[in-house]
């Protein structure tokens, strides 16, 4: 018995082990050499890598990063979502050993590869659960993880959610089949919600729409409502909402209080609709449909949402859909895949326009091309169905037809390549990799012919299919990784190592000093990268109250304590040159900058927030002597009159300014208000001598705390209810899902056809 169990376990691990080895070897450039990188793009180098570095630094300093003080005067990490702070698998990267305080390139490369490996394993599990053979399921995992959306989307906050998408539909279809329906429904919802923790709303929104649509279809099949299925759907979606809470709750809080750059020149507030012209720009071009099978086709500006899987995988998916059409899961997978690719076409698809107009938040997801993730999750299992269907003699006729089509396509593409080469014609169909498709089509046609003739077994044919698919994908996925020995391909990462001396100069003179910089000369987020409090940054959004303040004038820079500027020339005469770095950039100092904290003993109010900016622009108004706030803020905080004694005898110091904690030592001659020019945002709590004190929004967007006369310790801590409540929601979803899975019996009603198993076939 022991040996039988051991053998069974080995057989179960065989497929995942082979798949893991394939993915690692597929990305040999990243993990088996030290010559290539996946980070050499503007977004990765300038935005994502500094985010990851900042969070890794915080984890190694034994802090849980909640607030980022190094961009736009300070922003919530969880609220921005894209830093991926709520994603547990990112925490493993942050805890990886650092090298001289920096994330290791090897850790980042393994992180990239292992995320794809995990995506391959979930797709493999999906195919196996649909009754596919081991070899066919391995091929499904390869197609999902090494092609399409997962392979061509480098941003981790966008792709990490797609890792779990196959499990959403795996357990959804299990619930439909009646296999432990409640346990399966809750698991489907949990993985749907867990995907949201990755950070970006876009891909997860599209997957959620697909899952909800399938649930609705299952509930109303046959023209009447299946109430048992409806209860399963409601439970699944409730768990999804709870599981996503760790990320979605802070994101919703931030979204209402921030402006976002979505395409138009000016940032948009949450209640403003993203224009459809932006969606048109980031949709998959109709010509991009050829990119499903032909490498190098112009897909448009869809930000990596490339649908490419190769001619062999696409042919097998078509065969799978045709030959196994009688099976309901196959029809649903085909519908998912078709809907995903149609949605990706944006303005060329009625589907996208209707959803944009009617479904909440779709207008916020400005890249319709990301819908290719739904295309991929439906197509990958169909590839497995295609491989297994070829094991049945009844498929001979269809394999013959497709063999002839593949052979003809190979000839046409080869002739086209010859013509383009001979006459030196530039083609929008792609580059010389058209010949890769021609070669793969010819070889696939030959494999089908050999299988029909009995020259090779079905198992050998399946192995050949895996090899051909990997051959095609390797000519696209990872194909463009730049070699570090090629200067032309290393434009974005190189600047990150050029300005350490500027950061060291600032830290050596004043730890809490704010820095502005010329972002045409320093394109990356130098604040997060070097751990200095930079003002401007390359981010998707900024807090609305801060954006509405005067940020870019001389008066505004003085108010916010912007003491240093990095660039070649000073932004104003107030800044004087004090240091020149080895890159040629200079540090300019503004001696007139206000301190980060000060005290006032008078307050001026205006009726509404619209009156703040004109008052601040008035040269006669001195913010160093009077707080400025709205009548609403006065009513809410209800501070009594300030002392009015003047601030000459006050002594205000800030010995500690950490990301989520600020300490201020205050000596006041009479009752006054301590001002800190950090953003006012929910979740910050103030304590005066250990007792809670209200934080008042002053000057339209920064913090003030009323303090009595004498010596006092003023502390501010960032403890956002949105993150704490969201964490409890996610934890509750996990515990409830686990409890149901362990305690419910396996007996349940059956809602679907009996599965067709392929394990007894020769493709095994």
* Band of residue 662 on the pLDDT scale cut at 50, 70, 90: very high
Contact 199, 81 (CB under 8 A): yes
Of 64-78, 300-314, 674-688, give the lowest mean pLDDT range.
300-314
In this prediction, residue 562 carries a pLDDT of 92
Residue 163 and residue 216 share a domain: yes
Q: Is the pLDDT of residue 598 over 70?
A: yes
In this prediction, residue 428 carries a pLDDT of 60
Angle at Cα 201 formed by Cα 242 and Cα 261, nearest 5°? 140
The rounded percent of the chain whose pLDDT value lies above 70 is: 93
Position 738 in a domain: no
In this prediction, residue 246 carries a pLDDT of 95
Which DSSP letter does residue 681 get? -
In this prediction, residue 636 carries a pLDDT of 52
Q: Is the pLDDT of residue 58 over 80?
A: yes
In this prediction, residue 407 carries a pLDDT of 85
In this prediction, residue 761 carries a pLDDT of 45
Which of the listed residues 356, 391, 426 is the one where a domain comes to its end? 391
Position 244 in a domain: yes
Domain count, the chain: 3
Give 417 or 428, the one with higher predicted confidence.
417
Q: Give the H or E element holding residue 544.
A: helix 544-547
Give 426 or 557, the one with higher predicted confidence.
557
Chain centre distance of CA 180: 32
pLDDT digits (tens, 9 = 90+) for 135-185: 999 999 999 999 999 998 989 999 999 999 999 999 999 999 988 999 999
* Band of residue 469 on the pLDDT scale cut at 50, 70, 90: very high
Residue 605 and residue 584 share a domain: no
In this prediction, residue 744 carries a pLDDT of 64
Give the mean model confidence (pLDDT) for residues 591-604: 90
Residues 6+ positions from 228 with CB-CB distance below 8 Å: 749, 751
Residues 6+ positions from 567 with CB-CB distance below 8 Å: 517, 518, 521, 585, 586, 588
Residue 603 and residue 584 share a domain: no
CA–CA distance, 590 with 578 (Å, rounded to integer): 10
Out of 79-93, 290-304, 645-659, the most confident range is 79-93
In this prediction, residue 88 carries a pLDDT of 95
In this prediction, residue 639 carries a pLDDT of 54
CA–CA distance, 603 with 202 (Å, rounded to integer): 44
Residue 321 and residue 246 share a domain: yes
Position 647 in a domain: yes
CA–CA distance, 76 with 80 (Å, rounded to integer): 6
Position 464 in a domain: no
pLDDT digits (tens, 9 = 90+) for 19-50: 999 999 999 999 998 899 999 888 899 999 99
Name the 3-class secondary structure at 10: helix
pLDDT digits (tens, 9 = 90+) for 528-586: 999 999 998 888 899 999 998 888 888 889 999 999 999 999 998 889 999 999 999 99
Q: Is 182 exposed, middle or buried (0-12, 13-18, 19+ CB in 10 A)?
A: middle
Please tell me the total number of residues recorded for the chain in this structure.
764
pLDDT digits (tens, 9 = 90+) for 221-253: 777 888 889 999 999 999 999 999 999 999 999
State in Å, rounded, how far the first CA of the chain is from the last one.
Answer: 24
Residues facing residue 394 across a β-bridge: none
Chain centre distance of CA 144: 18
Give the mean model confidence (pLDDT) for residues 411-437: 76
Give the mean model confidence (pLDDT) for residues 674-680: 94
Residues 6+ positions from 227 with CB-CB distance below 8 Å: none
Residue 662 and residue 577 share a domain: no
In this prediction, residue 488 carries a pLDDT of 79
CA–CA distance, 660 with 74 (Å, rounded to integer): 10
Q: Is the pLDDT of residue 762 over 60?
A: no
Position 216 in a domain: yes
Residue 649 and residue 622 share a domain: yes
Residue 319 and residue 290 share a domain: yes
Residue 613 and residue 578 share a domain: no
Chain centre distance of CA 326: 37
Residues 6+ positions from 452 with CB-CB distance below 8 Å: 396, 399, 400, 403
In this prediction, residue 747 carries a pLDDT of 45
Give the mean model confidence (pLDDT) for residues 681-687: 95
Residue 157 and residue 276 share a domain: yes
Nearest to 269 by CA among 6, 461, 544, 536: 544
CA–CA distance, 182 with 748 (Å, rounded to integer): 9
pLDDT digits (tens, 9 = 90+) for 352-406: 999 999 998 999 988 999 999 999 999 999 999 999 888 776 677 777 888 888 8
Give the mean model confidence (pLDDT) for residues 7-11: 64
Neighbours of 109 (CB within 10 A): 21
Q: Is the pLDDT of residue 487 over 70?
A: yes
* Band of residue 756 on the pLDDT scale cut at 50, 70, 90: very low
Q: Is 199 exposed, middle or buried (0-12, 13-18, 19+ CB in 10 A)?
A: buried
Give the mean model confidence (pLDDT) for residues 485-495: 84
Residue 171 and residue 137 share a domain: yes
Q: Is the pLDDT of residue 746 over 80?
A: no
The rounded percent of the chain whose pLDDT value lies above 90 is: 55
Q: Is the pLDDT of residue 729 over 80?
A: yes
Position 332 in a domain: yes
In this prediction, residue 763 carries a pLDDT of 54
Which of the listed residues 572, 590, 608 is the one where a domain comes to its end? 590
In this prediction, residue 750 carries a pLDDT of 42
Strands (E), 308-414: none
Which domain does 239 fall in, by range? 16-37+104-391
Residue 146 and residue 275 share a domain: yes
Q: Is the pLDDT of residue 758 over 60?
A: no
Nearest to 622 by CA among 653, 601, 641, 652: 601
Mean pLDDT of the chain: 87
Residue 351 and residue 322 share a domain: yes
């Amino acid at each position: 018995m022991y040996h039988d169990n051991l053998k069974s376990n080995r057989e179960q691990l065989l497929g995942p082990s082979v798949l893991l080895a394939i993915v690692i070897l597929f990305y040999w450039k990243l993990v088996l050499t030290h010559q290539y990188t996946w980070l050499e793009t503007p977004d990765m180098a300038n935005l994502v890598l500094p985010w990851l570095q900042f969070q890794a630094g915080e984890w190694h300093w034994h802090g849980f990063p909640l607030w980022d003080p190094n961009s736009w005067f300070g922003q919530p990490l969880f609220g921005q979502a894209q830093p991926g702070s709520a994603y547990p698998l990112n925490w493993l990267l942050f805890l990886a050993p650092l090298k001289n305080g920096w994330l290791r390139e090897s850790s980042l490369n393994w992180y990239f590869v292992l995320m794809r490996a995990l995506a391959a394993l979930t797709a493999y599990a999906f195919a196996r659960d649909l009754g596919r053979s081991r070899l066919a399921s391995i091929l499904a995992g390869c197609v999902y993880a090494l092609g399409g959306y997962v392979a061509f989307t480098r941003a981790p906050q966008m792709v990490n959610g797609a890792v779990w998408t196959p499990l959403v539909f795996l357990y959804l279809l299990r619930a439909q089949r009646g296999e432990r329906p409640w346990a399966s429904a809750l698991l489907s919802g949990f993985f749907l919600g867990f995907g949201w923790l990755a950070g970006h709303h876009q891909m997860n929104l599209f997957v959620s729409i697909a899952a909800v649509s399938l649930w609705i279809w299952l509930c109303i099949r046959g023209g009447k409502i299946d109430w048992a299925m409806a209860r399963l759907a409601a439970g699944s979606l409730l768990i999804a909402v709870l599981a996503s809470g760790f990320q979605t709750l802070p994101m919703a809080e931030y979204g209402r209080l921030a402006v976002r750059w979505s395409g138009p020149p000016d940032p948009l507030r949450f209640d403003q609709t993203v224009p459809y012209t932006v969606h048109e720009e980031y949709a998959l071009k109709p010509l991009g449909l050829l990119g499903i099978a032909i490498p190098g086709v112009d897909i448009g500006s869809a930000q990596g949402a490339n649908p490419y899987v190769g001619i062999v995988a696409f042919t097998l998916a078509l065969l799978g859909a045709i030959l196994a059409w009688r099976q309901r899961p196959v029809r649903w997978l085909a519908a998912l895949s078709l809907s995903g690719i149609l949605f990706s076409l944006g303005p060329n698809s009625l589907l996208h326009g209707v959803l944009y107009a009617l479904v909440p938040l779709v207008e916020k997801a400005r890249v319709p091309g990301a819908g290719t993730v739904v295309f991929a999750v439906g197509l990958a299992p169909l590839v497995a169905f295609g491989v297994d269907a070829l094991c049945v003699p009844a498929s001979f006729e269809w394999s013959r037809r497709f063999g002839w089509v593949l052979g003809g396509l190979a000839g046409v593409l080869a002739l086209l390549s010859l013509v383009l080469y001979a006459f030196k014609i530039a083609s929008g169909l792609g580059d010389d990799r058209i010949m890769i498709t021609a070669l793969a089509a010819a070889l696939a046609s030959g494999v089908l012919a050999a299988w029909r003739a009995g020259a090779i077994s079905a198992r050998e044919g399946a192995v050949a299919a895996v090899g051909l698919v990997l051959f095609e994908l390797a000519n696209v996925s990872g194909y463009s990784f730049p070699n570090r020995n090629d200067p032309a391909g290393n434009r974005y990462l190189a600047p990150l190592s050029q300005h350490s001396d500027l950061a060291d100069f600032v830290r050596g003179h004043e730890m809490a000093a704010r820095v502005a910089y010329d972002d045409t000369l320093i394109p990356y987020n130098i604040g997060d990268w070097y751990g200095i409090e930079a003002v401007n940054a390359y981010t998707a959004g900024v807090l609305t109250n801060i954006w509405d303040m005067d940020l870019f004038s001389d008066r505004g820079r003085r108010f916010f304590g912007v003491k240093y500027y990095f660039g070649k020339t000073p932004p104003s005469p107030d800044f004087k040159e004090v240091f020149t770095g080895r890159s040629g950039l200079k540090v300019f100092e503004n001696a007139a900058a206000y301190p980060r904290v000060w005290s006032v003993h008078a307050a001026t109010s205006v009726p509404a927030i619209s009156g703040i900016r004109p008052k601040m622009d008035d040269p006669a108004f001195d913010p160093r002597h009077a707080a400025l706030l709205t009548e609403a803020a006065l009513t809410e905080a209800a501070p009594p009159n300030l002392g009015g004694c003047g601030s000459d005898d006050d002594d205000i110091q800030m010995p500690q300014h950490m990301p989520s904690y600020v300490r201020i030592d205050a000596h006041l001659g009479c009752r006054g208000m301590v001002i800190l020019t950090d953003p006012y945002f929910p979740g910050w709590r103030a304590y005066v001598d250990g007792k809670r004190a209200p934080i008042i929004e002053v000057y339209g967007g920064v913090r003030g705390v009323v303090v009595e006369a004498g010596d006092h310790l003023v502390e501010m801590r960032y403890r956002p209810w949105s993150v704490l409540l969201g964490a409890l929601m996610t934890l509750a979803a996990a515990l409830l899902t686990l409890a149901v899975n362990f305690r419910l019996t396996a007996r349940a009603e059956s809602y679907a056809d009996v599965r067709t198993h392929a394990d007894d076939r020769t493709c095994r």
